Amino acid sequence: MKSNHPNLILSCIGILIAAAPSQAATVIAIDNLAVGSQSFSASLSGPTATSFFGGDFSDREVAFSFTTGSIDAYLTELKFVTSIGNAQLSPIQLTLSTGTSVPGGVNPVVLGSVAPASSSPITQTLTVGPTIPPVLLANTTYWIHMTVPTGGGIYSIANTNTPIAEPGWSLGTTWLQDPLDPWSELTSGPVARIRMTVETIPEPQAALLGGLGIIALLRRRR
How many CA atoms lie within 13 Å of 60's alpha carbon, on the beta-carbon side? 19
Lowest mean pLDDT among 100-104, 106-110, 133-137: 133-137
Q: 57 exposed, middle or buried (CB, 10 Å; 0-12, 13-18, 19+)?
A: buried
pLDDT given at position 35? 78
Q: Reply yes or no on whether the pLDDT at 178 is more than 50.
A: yes
* pLDDT at 211 > cutoff 70: no
- Please report the pLDDT score of residue 5 as a whole number: 54
pLDDT at 34: 83
pLDDT given for residue 49 in this prediction? 97
Q: What is the pLDDT of residues 62-106, one digit of tens each?
A: 999 999 998 899 999 999 999 999 999 999 999 999 999 999 999
Section 143-161 average pLDDT: 96
Q: pLDDT by residue (tens digit) across 111-131?
A: 999 999 999 999 999 999 987
Give the pLDDT of residue 130.
84
Give the orientation angle of helix 8-19 with respect to helix 206-221, to 10 degrees. Answer: 180
Distances (CA, A) of 90 to 48, 57, 111, 173: 10, 14, 16, 25
For residues 32 and 167, give the distance between their C-alpha atoms in angstroms, rounded to a whole number. Answer: 15
Given a contact cutoff of 8 angstroms between Cβ atoms, the answer to whether 39 and 188 are in contact is yes
Confidence of residue 171 (pLDDT cuts 50, 70, 90): very high
Neighbours of 193 (CB within 10 A): 27
Helix (H) or strand (E) holding 112: strand 106-114
Interval 10-67: pLDDT, tens: 454 444 444 444 567 999 999 999 877 777 889 999 999 999 888 999 999 999 999 9
Please report the pLDDT score of residue 36 as a whole number: 75
- Asked whether residue 108 carries a pLDDT value surpassing 80, the answer given is yes
- Which residues are bridge partners to 196 per DSSP? 30, 78
